[in-house]
Amino acid sequence: MEGLRPKRPGGPLTGKPVQGPDKKWYDEVGQHMPASGNVEATDSKSIEALPPLKSDCVRLVHIADPGAVAQIRKSGLDYKSQGMISSTARWWADSSHVEYWSNDPRFNFEGAQAVVMDVPANELRLHNDPTRAPGSIPAKYIVGIVEAKDPSQKNT
């Protein structure tokens, strides 16, 4: 790793957002992260409050318990043990079709949360190739965390 020096304050390149002395958040190569990628900007919100999906991105949804969600917020979505992202998350190119819940009993439990990430489509292809997948998607792509419950079941 000789020659690779992080531009931001903090330790080695980790892929995790780091808060600098200026209280702003920086990604793994020292670039300031815009508000949509800041850790504090990903607090739980309603589906309606999520930002619009950009035309060059896909909306990725990963359902987890609150403890796992807290780790994903800090470190990104780690899927190394699954081999590729489609083994642990679903994605859509059209935001009107996104399901932020699952009817699968493994992911349909009280307190389940959906981590919502907008990932560039060309980058997602790499994450879905088990021979080249890097094993994690950075937290900077998180656009929100919502309750993982079908809206038609909200009052049940």
Q: What's the pTM value of the predicted model, to 2 decimals?
A: 0.70
CB 78 within 8 A of CB 136: yes
How would you classify the pairing of strands 57-64 and 113-120?
antiparallel
Q: Specify whether the backbone of 135 is left (phi greater than 0), alpha (psi in -120 to 50) or beta.
A: left
pLDDT of residue 82: 84
> Structural domain boundaries of the chain?
41-149
- Which residues touch 115 (CB under 8 Å, ≥6 apart)? 61, 62, 63, 64, 69, 72, 73, 77, 142, 145
Residue 24 has what pLDDT? Answer: 63
pLDDT digits (tens, 9 = 90+) for 81-120: 888 888 888 999 998 999 999 888 878 888 889 999 999 9
* 52-61, 76-85, 90-99, 139-148, range with the lowest pLDDT: 76-85
* DSSP type of residue 32: B
pLDDT of residue 118: 95
The span from the CA of 80 to the CA of 122, in Å, is 19
Residues with Cβ within 8 Å of 108's Cβ and at least 6 positions away in sequence, in order, are 101, 102, 148
- The tens digit of pLDDT for each residue in 5-55 reads 444 444 444 445 566 777 665 655 565 554 444 444 555 678 888 999 999
Residue-level pLDDT at 124: 87
